[in-house]
Amino acid sequence: MKIPVAKPDIGKDEIEAVIETMRSGWVTQGKKVEEFEESFAKYCGVKYGVAVSSGTAALHIALDSLGIKKGDEVITTPLSCVATTNPIVYLNAKPIFVDVEPETLNMDTALIEERITPKTKAILPVHLFGHPVDLDPLMELAQKHGLCVVEDAAHAHGAKYKGKRVGSFGQVSCFSFYADKNITSVEGGMALTNDAELAEKMRMLRSFGMHKHKKFYHPLLGYNYKMSDIHAAIGLVQMQKLDKFIQRRRENVKYLNKQLAHLNLKLPHEQSYAFSVYYAYHILTERGKNKIVEFLEKSGIETRPLVAFIPEQPPYRRYAHSLNDCAIAKKAHQQGFYISNFPNLTKAELNYIASTLEAATKLVT
């Protein structure tokens, strides 16, 4: 049996949507992009969507539109895809890492205030693996200190914090629609906001900084981050499946957790305030991670490291962060890995995952 770490659910409806768009004669950014923006923004409970070429691009235009610049500091997590922090550095600002909670692996909001300085301009929380950050204390701190909040919700389409969808809390929120995400447009991302001026600025930034009503007039230094109608057509079909995907992901985790509860593994779970969408099935083990991962791979179950411990990545070592300040994140990275939680996993595949993990843990007991 072969179980890849991700398997996009692309069917005949997506294929037909692409063909229809190509036959329309308009394949670049157009009406389909606008429709996708409106649909996804409405789903998340936000007024405006700005579709772009990737989740990284969404973060870049979000931070740029908020005026993040050289010398500014942005507080974020050390445990994420490096795409979270790269846009901070693109703007010559400095990422300030706050350690994570051991239970959720999200940024520990209790540690944020001590890292705020006069240079701090924004907080960038990440809803890692689809589990919401504890947002109430974070938003209170941001308001107290006059800071912007940009949510990285790349893993968290449809997740909820105290009944409200993530992506609707910060000044801007950013999503990815890459092939392994909860829904996909193959490549793509989106920034959401309730601020009309920010939305318009981000639309300019994605299109070379060009004025909406004046062709080839560029009041801003912008980028080429546009989404095509072909990608948006796929995303629109995927939107119709999102709630079903979330339900299946949650059912998968519930089933696997029950099968694996007797093992000495730390398994995914959600806090009382959270409705998690379980982007992947992440696991922490106190010993023998490498042996377990090797056994899984040889058994046909693809794995991935527990995202990146960003302060140790070569481009970030120049900031000379004290790794002791992020000890929980570093330990989680050393002990953790993840496997697939794609929605169409069969019962046979789930049982195979459970039995293989049990066999793997016996190698290290």
pLDDT value at 320 more than 80: no
Contact between 130 and 182 (Cβ < 8 Å): yes
176 and 129 within one domain: yes
Q: Residue 18's domain spans which residues? A: 12-239
319 against 206, higher pLDDT: 206
CA distances 52 to 19, 34, 59, 168, 205, Å, are 21, 11, 10, 18, 10
Last residue of a domain, one of 210, 239, 268: 239
142 and 78 within one domain: yes
Report pLDDT for 323.
64
pLDDT value at 333 more than 90: yes
Residue 322 confidence class, pLDDT cut points 50, 70, 90: low
Burial class for 264, CB neighbours closer than 10 Å (0-12, 13-18, 19+): exposed
Conformational region of residue 25, where left means phi above 0, alpha means psi within -120 to 50, and beta covers everything else: left
Report pLDDT for 228.
98
To the query of whether residue 181 is one of the catalytic residues in this protein, the response is: yes
End-to-end CA distance of the chain, in Å? 25
User: From the candidates 121, 181, 289, 330, which is the catalytic residue?
Assistant: 181
Domain assignment of residue 355, yes or no: yes
317 and 221 within one domain: no
pLDDT tens track for 197-227 = 999 999 999 999 999 888 899 999 999 999 9
Q: Give the DSSP letter of residue 109.
A: G
| Residue 195: closest CA among 26, 333, 41 | 41
Q: Amino acid identity of 8?
A: P
Residue 365 confidence class, pLDDT cut points 50, 70, 90: confident
Task: Give the three-state DSSP class for 134.
Answer: coil
Q: Give the DSSP letter of residue 253.
A: H
| CATH number of 287's domain | 3.90.1150.10
Question: Which range has the worst mean pLDDT, 25-29, 265-269, 305-309, 322-326?
Answer: 322-326
227 and 159 within one domain: yes
- Cα 119 to the center of its chain, rounded Å: 26
| CATH number of 120's domain | 3.40.640.10
pLDDT value at 347 more than 90: yes
Query: What is the average per-residue pLDDT within 229-254?
Result: 98
Domain assignment of residue 5, yes or no: no
Task: Give the three-state DSSP class for 210.
Answer: coil
Last residue of a domain, one of 239, 261, 291: 239
- Considering the chain, what is the average pLDDT of its residues? 96
